[in-house]
């Protein structure tokens, strides 16, 4: 088969790049399309602030005039400077079960990264860790979450066939609510509340959340600065991320802890799983897709943890249990059946121990791959 790789540099090619996934995944059970309006903004330099510190190339693979694959190459200079490395990234890889096509796409990005003096290529990753990252390698029988990959089972084998090896794994825990709130959460919650040193802030409307958005993201920058793949957000990126997700959140599942002087020192964000609505909307918000997504959110029985953090000097005093008790209590009251932890780095043994302490079991695993560039 004759394969050509062409860089995306026209509106028509960009549209083909964005909507190609729904063609290749047409009959793929469990797959959920992205919200295409988000993807359009993601790949638009005028809308995505990450273009100010990232290089990016998009490419399509074609044979006999038909698109058969796509890939993105990304260099996050901010993260490279912070972590003192020269890594390129590949992401948004879609292709058939054909080693020749996969190799052609990967080779294109590898050469692009080499030409820019990168020493290693890692992926799948996006511009930042708020984009999908890691290919699913275990747990294909379970429905996906928002902002995660649900790839074909053959994709990891195609990567290995092209010389890629494991970089790091993320594990995902499932916490069943059938047993109620863990006893140790109740005890710590009572103890911390009794001291009255900290204030648990809960919400009943999205409007109430707005003043806490930047303090939460600023704390996230502080907490995640040294985590794998994380690059700090600028204030405008904080606002953009909030605008992207605020319409989707349920305020009942955002918990914040402050000091008595109103300093934000901890937060956790959960989002009701709404992938069934996104699937029914075919990834399109309009004219009525957003209604299907909101309906799915309101009917969901699965709560997806999105992100959370605690200021370093306040760790170990029970704030995790304070927020954990509150969010599980809210979820049970809302008749949710279980919670998904989202990605936990496999080497974060402390967090993994916490998840296991509340009855969590690993039910999904994602892998980021790497290849040295010579």
Q: What is the pLDDT of residues 294-307, one digit of tens each?
A: 999 999 999 999 98
Enclosing H/E stretch for 110: helix 99-115
pLDDT at position 230: 87
Is the pLDDT at 274 greater than 80, yes or no? Answer: yes
pLDDT at position 268: 95
- Give the tens place of pLDDT for each residue, 297-342: 999 999 999 989 999 999 988 899 899 999 999 999 999 999 999 8
Are 193 and 329 found together in one domain? Answer: yes
Task: Provide the percentage of residues in the chain whose pLDDT is more than 70.
Answer: 100
Enclosing H/E stretch for 280: helix 275-281
- Give the tens place of pLDDT for each residue, 61-80: 999 999 999 999 999 999 99
Is the pLDDT at 1 greater than 80, yes or no? Answer: no
Q: Is residue 141 part of a domain?
A: yes
Mean pLDDT, the chain, rounded, equals 93
Is beta strand 254-259 parallel, antiparallel or unpaired with respect to 198-201? antiparallel
Are 156 and 213 found together in one domain? Answer: no
Tell me the angle at which helices 319-333 and 183-195 cross, rounded to the nearest 10 degrees: 120
Is the pLDDT at 146 greater than 90, yes or no? Answer: no
CA torsion sign for 145, 146, 147, 151 is: positive
- Give the tens place of pLDDT for each residue, 237-255: 999 888 888 888 899 999 9
Are 200 and 284 found together in one domain? Answer: yes
Q: What's 62's domain CATH number?
A: 3.40.630.30
Are 136 and 266 found together in one domain? Answer: no
Among 168, 193, 220, the domain-final residue is 168
- Give the tens place of pLDDT for each residue, 179-195: 898 888 888 888 887 87
Which structural domain, as residue segments, surrounds residue 187?
Answer: 179-336
Are 145 and 207 found together in one domain? Answer: no
Q: Is residue 317 part of a domain?
A: yes
Mean pLDDT score, 212-219 = 94
pLDDT at position 227: 83
pLDDT at position 202: 96
pLDDT at position 194: 80
Are 327 and 231 found together in one domain? Answer: yes
Let me know: does 102 contact 159? Beta carbons within 8 Å.
yes
Q: Is residue 65 part of a domain?
A: yes
How many C-beta atoms surround the C-beta of residue 133 within 10 A?
Answer: 23
Are 208 and 184 found together in one domain? Answer: yes
Q: Is residue 130 part of a domain?
A: yes
Query: Could you give the number of structural domains in the chain?
Result: 2
Residue 20 — pLDDT band, cuts 50, 70, 90?
A: very high
Among 148, 168, 188, the domain-final residue is 168
Which candidate, 97, 335, 130, places its Cα nearest to that of 245?
130
Are 192 and 121 found together in one domain? Answer: no
Q: Is residue 106 part of a domain?
A: yes
DSSP letter for each residue of 303-315 = EEEEEEEE-GGGT
pLDDT at position 247: 84
Residue 5 — pLDDT band, cuts 50, 70, 90?
A: very high
Are 157 and 12 found together in one domain? Answer: yes
Q: Is residue 221 part of a domain?
A: yes
pLDDT at position 208: 95
More confident residue, 27 or 369: 369
Q: Is residue 341 part of a domain?
A: no
Enclosing H/E stretch for 90: strand 87-94
pLDDT at position 357: 86
Are 126 and 198 found together in one domain? Answer: no
Are 117 and 195 found together in one domain? Answer: no
Among 168, 193, 210, the domain-final residue is 168
Is beta strand 198-201 parallel, antiparallel or unpaired with respect to 66-76? unpaired
Q: Is residue 370 part of a domain?
A: no
Are 153 and 193 found together in one domain? Answer: no
Is the pLDDT at 264 greater than 80, yes or no? Answer: yes
Is the pLDDT at 280 greater than 90, yes or no? Answer: yes
């Amino acid at each position: 088969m004759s394969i050509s790789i062409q860089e995306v540099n026209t509106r028509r090619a960009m549209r083909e790049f964005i909507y190609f996934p729904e063609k290749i995944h047409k009959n793929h059970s469990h797959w959920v399309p992205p919200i295409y309006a988000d993807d359009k903004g993601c790949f638009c330099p005028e809308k995505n602030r990450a273009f100010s510190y990232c290089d990016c190339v998009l490419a399509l693979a074609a044979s006999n005039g038909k698109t058969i694959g796509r890939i993105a190459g990304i260099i996050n200079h901010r993260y490279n400077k912070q972590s003192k490395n020269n890594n390129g990234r590949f992401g948004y890889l879609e292709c058939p079960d054909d080693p020749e096509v996969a190799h052609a796409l990967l080779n294109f990005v590898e050469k692009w990264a080499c030409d820019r003096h990168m020493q290693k290529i890692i992926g799948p990753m996006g511009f930042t860790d708020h984009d999908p990252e890691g290919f699913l390698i275990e747990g294909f029988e379970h429905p996906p979450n928002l902002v995660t990959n649900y790839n074909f089972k053959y994709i990891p084998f195609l990567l290995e066939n092209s010389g890629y090896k494991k970089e790091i794994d993320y594990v995902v825990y499932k916490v069943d609510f059938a047993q109620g709130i863990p006893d140790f959460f109740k005890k710590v919650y009572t103890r911390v509340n009794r001291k009255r040193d900290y204030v648990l802030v809960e919400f009943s409307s999205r409007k109430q959340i707005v003043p806490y958005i930047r303090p939460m993201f600023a704390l996230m920058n502080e907490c995640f600065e040294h985590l794998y793949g994380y690059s700090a957000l600028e204030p405008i990126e904080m606002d953009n991320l909030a605008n992207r997700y605020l319409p989707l959140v349920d305020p009942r599942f955002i918990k914040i802890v402050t000091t008595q002087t109103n300093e934000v020192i901890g937060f956790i964000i959960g989002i009701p799983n709404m992938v069934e609505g996104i699937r029914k909307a075919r990834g399109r918000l309009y004219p009525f897709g957003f209604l299907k997504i909101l309906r799915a959110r309101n009917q969901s029985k699965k709560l997806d943890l999105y992100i959370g953090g605690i200021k370093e000097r306040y760790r170990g005093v029970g704030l995790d249990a304070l927020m954990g008790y509150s969010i599980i209590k809210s979820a049970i009251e809302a008749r949710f059946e279980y919670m998904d932890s989202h990605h936990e780095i496999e080497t974060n043994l402390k967090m993994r121990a916490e998840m296991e302490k509340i009855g969590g079991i690993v039910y999904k695993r994602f892998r980021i791959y790497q290849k040295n560039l010579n």
